Structure 1
């Protein structure tokens, strides 16, 4: 039962925030040209731009403290720029399983919504807000069974030419796995990112917007994106659970592909 609750907490947090995992937007022109919502927990205070279509895919595997595993992929996120400061998002964790390779995979919920960025940066802080609605499209073991809202507030602050500090605040409604009661939960993420040519490394600490056995899972992250081409990015990240209700460790890898209007 405890294994189910621990992995269930990770699955729930991943599903509810499927579209909010990113390194801070890089502050230099070369790196900032392609800003992705991955890797990492935080989402940047940025949008893809008018007419841009961006697809982000990934795979995550965690190891629980009892030696069990959980995996999620391909974590599709579709971002479509409908205006200079507004984009539409469709996101899902994709398929989920309590193992790594030889698994029985199950579909997960889909979230739809939008992100808007403020045109000004008060005190040098870029601000954006994302509103999503999670739809109960997943398999029985991997769905909340309810239409649940998710709101994310994002703030980015450049620290010189190569560093950026990012903060995310998440507010969502989740349901207890044993009944239909809804609870409002909040989460936080703080990330420090850098721009080093084609590389965008980051480190982060995050508190997930769920409760497991009465505690809030929290974790540390480190990873990097790598610009493979003008419109293609690869990424990898490593998670380390910092309390008993977060998996012991996790690893993620992903791909971002962008299409820009000609």
Structure 2
């Protein structure tokens, strides 16, 4: 048996499959799923990610992270969430004068709740809808820590279309804090289009406005994303995504690969 096949078989053996309660993940696309994990269920979504940026002055920045989301179902419509970018490592290279700066540490933690308020219906065009409330907490290492508590509120809608197509849209806002100017609000707006090619394999394209803000508050971070996800079983998923920044304040490229398991 090949190593990859053996690993997949081991995961499928260790993780119980629930044919009537399959996995629905919030990764790898930026638009969250409208679904919750279900009462008494626990889901781990984790992976590896890298950002690459090169600015006009010749500075090159690389940031590696381990984004992780833990989801716990407290009812059939509500789940609790803990999210973080995990361990982070950055490397910045300045061309003139030649200088390399390295930072390592852990990212902040986000505590949240998702409320699924409506199931979708393809026949009538009704979307599945969920609300997400999160608060980012300044628990990270000094190099990666934000300022104080930073709440965000998002609403997600998902439409199932013909020919195995789906559309998801997410909008909302976040409140951040600048040590000099105090609190400020940023917008969130993203749309994703996906297609299921088989029962196990799907792909998507996405336009993600992760942060919509004035240049005074860091500018807008907008990317075009392409990704895929594959089910090893009804409870185990692997995925990959590539993002291209389309504003000058966005990372030039982002690459990610992940694993999600439902218990």
TM-score normalised by the chain length of structure 1: 0.80
Q: How far 1:186 moved relative to its partner? A: 0.9
Residue 240 of structure 2 corresponds to residue 209 of structure 1: no
- Consecutive unaligned residues of structure 2, counting only runs of 5 or more, are 1-18, 93-100
**Equivalents in 1 of 2:246, 2:229: separation in Å?**
23
Q: How far 1:32 moved relative to its partner? A: 8.4
Residue 239 of structure 2 corresponds to residue 235 of structure 1: yes
**Equivalents in 1 of 2:134, 2:196: separation in Å?**
29
Q: Is the 8 A contact 2:151 2:174 kept in 1?
A: yes
Q: Is the 8 A contact 1:47 1:81 kept in 2?
A: yes
Q: How far 1:245 moved relative to its partner? A: 1.2
Q: How far 1:170 moved relative to its partner? A: 2.6
- More divergent stretch after superposition (206-215 vs 219-228): 206-215
Residue 225 of structure 2 corresponds to residue 225 of structure 1: no
Residue 121 of structure 2 corresponds to residue 137 of structure 1: no
**Equivalents in 1 of 2:117, 2:185: separation in Å?**
26
Match of 1:189? 190
Match of 2:10? none
**Equivalents in 1 of 2:185, 2:78: separation in Å?**
26
More strand by share: 2
1:145 counterpart SS class: coil
Aligned ranges for residues 92-107 of structure 1 at < 5 Å? 92-99=84-91, 104-107=103-106
- Consecutive unaligned residues of structure 1, counting only runs of 5 or more, are 1-29
Q: Is the 8 A contact 1:59 1:71 kept in 2?
A: no
Match of 1:86? 78
Choose 1 or 2 for highest CA Rg.
2
**Equivalents in 2 of 1:212, 1:65: separation in Å?**
21
2:54 counterpart SS class: coil
TM-score normalised by the chain length of structure 2: 0.80
Q: How far 1:73 moved relative to its partner? A: 2.6
Match of 1:7? none
Q: How far 1:209 moved relative to its partner? A: 2.0
Match of 2:67? 75
Q: Aligned pair count?
A: 228
Change in 2 beyond 3 A, CA 1:58/1:170: farther
**Equivalents in 1 of 2:86, 2:129: separation in Å?**
29
Change in 2 beyond 3 A, CA 1:230/1:184: same
